[in-house]
Amino acid sequence: MNTSKSSELFAEAQKHIPGGVNSPVRAFRSVGRDPLYIASAKGSKIYDVDGNEFIDYIGSWGPMIHGHANERIINAIKDAAENSTSFGASSEKEIVLAQLVKKFVPAIEMIRMVNSGTEATMSAMRLARGFTGREKIIKFEGCYHGHGDSFLSKAGSGVATLGLPDSPGVTRSTAADTLNAKFNDIASVEVLIEQHPGSIAAVFIEPVAGNMGCVMAGKAFLQKLRDLCTAEGIVLIFDEVMSGFRVARGGAQELYGINADLTTFGKIIGGGLPVGAYGGRRDIMQLIAPSGPVYQAGTLSGNPLAMTAGIETLLAIDEDPDFYRTLGDACEYLYDGFRSNLADLKLDYTLNTCGSMFTLFFSSEAVTDFDSAKTSNTAKFAAYFNHMLENGIYLPPSQFEACFVSTAHTREDVDETVVANRISLEFL
């Protein structure tokens, strides 16, 4: 496979952009090759500048649930752009998207639009502190909530991929207010609450983690966490930037039947455009300025193009009562093919799946938390990644990222992927 033009572009990029990339995992360092530069994408396929075609299982890290360049969404964005790309003022589309999110996730009583998942989690943290009058937060090892200072502690994803410790630039006082618990271990949460009585403002969790690979919280664990937060007056915050509208119509909260006090969103609600949001209980959300004293603002929040893309993305789901059944059937066909390959080749690697999210871990252990995720053989993953790429399959260039399936993936795409999976595993 010729990728010379991508390599030339990467060499040039490194003269002007730190590391040559605008987000660390794009550097492809953990898989030992130069990154690909993408020229276009359509449906389930992505095309690089050298003319190579790949079946894409990144989907812009989750939002492309309808596939790339969906005509309905693209046409709506074009129409919206004719009326300007930004107003810096209110528009009706903000209300429409807010209503749609509330329809899909009944626990959301009010919602505020922002521009990224990082903005959403940072804002939700400030709001929880303002609501409780407390300062400390609990997060879980391996869960990634964006690059806000308070969250860059044992943060999975790109931090784990690059082997970085807690980031320089985060002050000791900020780091001291973040406490790390162990995913799927309620006792670790109880210990932190006992050690810091009356001081915990919020617990943040990805109920379906995507940033240590795809790892589900256990239902019993999540229910105990909900009960504990209620009893202690702690704001429970679900980070559903990845899982929202992807693992189920109502996200992880529908999947588990457990509601959070606040929820952060991104990805799908922008249809691939930069977006984020946070919402939840009315009594908490009404503390946000201008209705309350907790300040948060953004010139591009509620951007009309992002709102348009999000509206059309969710409407296309809402109008199809069989949407998640159809998507689920395609996913199970893919997962069954992977499992069959592993069984035939007598390999004991671990395949974690949840809805249209999945990760193949190169570990024989059940992967239920960050420690077990880190038992994966990353050298084998890197070799597997490169073999899959050579066979036309575009996967996340990190063992610690989830893959995503879209409705644009055809039976033929999946068959080709399963064959590539077998060939790649045989080479290891």
What tens-digit pLDDT sequence spans the chain (428 residues)? 999 999 999 999 999 999 999 999 899 999 999 999 999 999 999 999 999 999 999 999 999 999 999 999 999 999 999 999 999 999 999 999 999 999 999 999 999 999 999 999 999 999 999 999 999 999 999 999 988 878 876 554 444 434 444 678 787 778 889 999 999 999 999 999 999 999 999 999 999 999 999 999 999 999 999 999 999 999 999 999 999 999 999 999 999 999 999 999 999 999 999 999 999 999 999 999 999 999 999 999 999 999 999 999 999 999 999 999 999 999 999 999 999 999 999 999 999 999 999 999 999 999 999 999 999 999 999 999 999 999 999 999 999 999 999 999 999 999 999 999 999 999 99
What distance in Å separates the CA atoms of residue 277 and residue 31, rounded to the nearest whole number?
33
Supply the pLDDT for residue 160.
Answer: 45
pTM: 0.94
DSSP conformational letter for 88 = S
What distance in Å separates the CA atoms of residue 225 and residue 402, rounded to the nearest whole number?
24
The two structure tokens encoding residue 132: 């409780």
Residue 217: closest CA among 373, 386, 413, 368: 368
Supply the pLDDT for residue 149.
Answer: 79
What distance in Å separates the CA atoms of residue 196 and residue 205, rounded to the nearest whole number?
19
144: annotated active-site residue: yes
What distance in Å separates the CA atoms of residue 4 and residue 299, rounded to the nearest whole number?
40
Radius of gyration of the chain (CA): 21
DSSP conformational letter for 394 = E
What distance in Å separates the CA atoms of residue 201 and residue 149, rounded to the nearest whole number?
16
267: annotated active-site residue: yes
283: annotated active-site residue: no
The two structure tokens encoding residue 315: 């409407």
For every residue of 300-362, DSSP letters joined together read TTT-HHHHHHHHHHHHHHHT-TTHHHHHHHHHHHHHHHHHHHHHHTT---EEEEETTEEEEES
CB burial string 297-330: b at 16+ within 10 A, e below: ebebbbbbbbbbbbbbbbbbbeeeeebbeebbeb
Supply the pLDDT for residue 151.
Answer: 86
Supply the pLDDT for residue 166.
Answer: 64
Q: 232 Cβ partners below 8 Å, 6+ apart?
A: 193, 200
Long-range residue pairs from 339-348, CB within 8 A, at least 24 positions apart, any chain: 340/418, 341/418, 341/421, 341/422, 341/425, 342/425, 344/422, 345/422, 345/425, 345/426, 347/425
Residue with tokens 């001081």: 199
Structural domains in the chain, sorted by start: 4-69+323-427 (3.90.1150.10), 71-318 (3.40.640.10)
Supply the pLDDT for residue 291.
Answer: 97
Cis peptide before 290 (omega within 30 of 0): yes
Region of 372 (left: φ > 0; alpha: ψ -120 to 50; beta: rest) is alpha
Supply the pLDDT for residue 83.
Answer: 97
Supply the pLDDT for residue 173.
Answer: 78
Cβ neighbours, 10 Å, residue 92? 9
Supply the pLDDT for residue 171.
Answer: 78
The two structure tokens encoding residue 102: 């509330």
The two structure tokens encoding residue 97: 């998207």
Per the residue annotation, which of 57, 144, 324, 335 is the catalytic one?
144
Cβ neighbours, 10 Å, residue 32? 12
Q: Residue 4: in which H helix or E strand, if any?
A: helix 4-13
Supply the pLDDT for residue 162.
Answer: 40
Per the residue annotation, which of 48, 56, 177, 239 is the catalytic one?
239
Per the residue annotation, which of 267, 278, 349, 394 is the catalytic one?
267
